[in-house]
Amino acid sequence: MPVLRLSWSIAFTGISFLVLSIATQTVRADDLFLQVYTEFNMPNNYRETDTGPVVGYATDLVREVLDKTGINYTIEIVPWVRAMQAIDSSANVMVYSMARTIDREDKYHWIGKTLPLDFYLYGLKDRLPSLPLTLDEAINSKIGVVRADVVELYLRSLGFTDLVNVRDSSLSLKMLERGRIDLFPYTNLEAGLFARRNGFDENKLIGVIKLEEISNDLYMATSKNIDEAILNKLQEAYQEVVMSGRYNEIMDPLIEMYEAANVEFFEQRVQ
């Protein structure tokens, strides 16, 4: 009899293992959860009210992808430094829109592009004679940067020490006018519209130095530690959005809006 009881015990254990294996292999999308973070950046990521949902062009693209996966998710607007801390330390986190650089390449999973970009350092046009026009000349300039942003990390890696941290980029415009900083970084597409939305005449700005090494596209990226089922669904959904033409439908109006508010670049000596 003891042998018989052992046999039944082994059989029951085997059945339990089989049931567990089947359950593991058939995880439903709505059992999965992804925490999504972004920073405030109108018109791409913002709230129309303090308690309203996160909206905007890039957000619409992200939601289009996420909704196709069937995965449960929430999107939060947080300071960029907090978003980076989360994606670096937590599982199943996605951040948008992040510059894809060589230093970051192996740290995250890159789902897909949100926007193309070139980074420039901008200054006031009426101060052009005194502005640096190369990175070497800019080493002693006061530059307003967002903490943990790709530009801050890049400039510090080059030995820049006179960087002024700001909570968000909109503060850079006021600091620029008051002479508290000489330059601030922004993307070529967004600079003009960014100035307009903050009550600043974009014609007063001029791009003087292109930051070639970090002028890469902006992406949706996830933490390295992510459920494989979530990663696969995100990658498949993004490709579907692109192939169906929905990417262009969502983002083309934004590109046209940006192009209508272009900021002049001092091309003769841009690096």
Measured between alpha carbons, how far apart are the two ends of the chain, in Å?
A: 85
Domains 29-116+217-259 and 119-215+262-269 belong to one CATH topology: yes
What's the mean per-residue pLDDT of the chain?
88
Q: Which amino acid is at 125?
A: K
Q: By the 8 A CB rule, do 138 and 204 touch?
A: no
Q: What is the pLDDT of residue 5?
A: 42
The tens digit of pLDDT for each residue in 31-61 reads 899 999 999 998 999 999 999 999 999 999 9
Is the CB of residue 46 less than 8 Å from the CB of residue 40?
Answer: yes
CA atoms within 13 A on the CB side of 88: 8
Domain ranges, ordered by start, for the chain: 29-116+217-259, 119-215+262-269
Domain covering 119-215+262-269: architecture: 3-Layer(aba) Sandwich (3.40)
20-33 in b/e form (b: 16+ CB < 10 A) is eeeeeeeeeeeebe
The pLDDT of residue 266 is 84
Architecture of domain 29-116+217-259: 3-Layer(aba) Sandwich (3.40)
DSSP assignment letter at 265:
B
Contact assessment for residue 119 and residue 210, using Cβ atoms and an 8 Å cutoff: yes
Q: Which residues contact 95 (CB under 8 A, 6 or more apart)?
A: 36, 37, 38, 83, 84, 86, 87, 220, 221, 222
Residues of the chain where predicted confidence (pLDDT) is lower than 70? 1-30, 267-271
Q: What percent of the chain has pLDDT over 90?
A: 73
- Residue 45 has what pLDDT? 96
Task: Give the C-alpha separation, 138 to 207, whole Å.
Answer: 13
